[in-house]
Structure 1
Amino acid sequence: MKVFQIVGVRKSGKTTTVECLIKKLKQRGYRVGTVKCINCPVFTIDADRHSNTARHAEAGADVVVAYGKREVDFIYPAPQDINQTLSILSVADLDYCIVEGGYEFDLPRIVCLKNEGEFSERCTERTFAVAGVMAETLKGRLDLPAFNAMSDEGLEALADLTESTVPELSLPVAVLPRPQSCRNFCRGCAGHNKNK
Structure 2
Amino acid sequence: MKVIGFAGYSGAGKTTLVEALVALMKQRGLRVSVIKHAHHHFDVDREGKDSWRHRKAGAYEVLLASDQRMALMREYPQPTEVSVHDMLAQLDPSVDWVLVEGFKHGDVPKIEVWREQQDRLDKGKTIEPMFAHDAKVLAIATDTPALLPSLPAQPVLDLNQPQAVLQWLLANADALKYKTFEYKN
Q: What TM-score do you get using the length of structure 2 for normalisation?
A: 0.75
Distance 1:143 1:120 in 2: 12
Over 3 Å counting, the alpha-carbon distance change for 1:9 and 1:76 in structure 2 is same
1:165-186 per-position Cα deviation (integer Å, ceiling 9, x unaligned): 31323234689xxxxxxxxxxx
Distance 2:109 2:59 in 1: 34
The residue aligned with 2:18 is 18
Query: For this pair of structures, how many residues does the alignment match?
Result: 171
Distance 2:171 2:20 in 1: 14
Identity %: 23
The residue aligned with 1:61 is 59
Question: Where in structure 1 do 4 or more consecutive aligned residues deviate above 3 Å?
Answer: 120-123, 132-138, 171-175
Farther-moved stretch of structure 1 (3-12 vs 154-163): 154-163
Farther-moved stretch of structure 1 (124-133 vs 166-175): 166-175
The residue aligned with 2:2 is 2
Matched, 1:88 2:98: no
Distance 1:147 1:136 in 2: 12
Matched, 1:118 2:128: yes
Matched, 1:51 2:49: yes
Distance 1:3 1:25 in 2: 13
The residue aligned with 2:100 is 99
Structure 2 unaligned segments of length 5 or more: list them: 117-125
Distance 1:145 1:42 in 2: 36
What RMSD, in angstroms, separates the aligned Cα atoms of the two structures?
A: 3.0
Distance 1:151 1:54 in 2: 41
Higher strand residue share: 2
Alignment-mate amino acid for residue 158 of structure 1 = W
Structure 1 unaligned segments of length 5 or more: list them: 176-196
Within 5 Å, which residues of 2 pair with 1:135-154?
135=145, 138=148, 141-151=151-161, 154=164
User: Would the aligned equivalents of 1:105 and 1:174 in 2 still touch at CA under 8 Å?
Assistant: no
User: Would the aligned equivalents of 2:143 and 2:160 in 1 still touch at CA under 8 Å?
Assistant: no
Give the 3-state SS of the residue equivalent to 1:105 in structure 2. coil
Distance 1:84 1:111 in 2: 22
Give the 3-state SS of the residue equivalent to 1:158 in structure 2. helix
Give the 3-state SS of the residue equivalent to 1:144 in structure 2. coil
The residue aligned with 2:137 is 127
Distance 2:146 2:100 in 1: 23
Distance 2:142 2:82 in 1: 28
Q: What TM-score do you get using the length of structure 1 for normalisation?
A: 0.72
Over 3 Å counting, the alpha-carbon distance change for 1:152 and 1:95 in structure 2 is closer
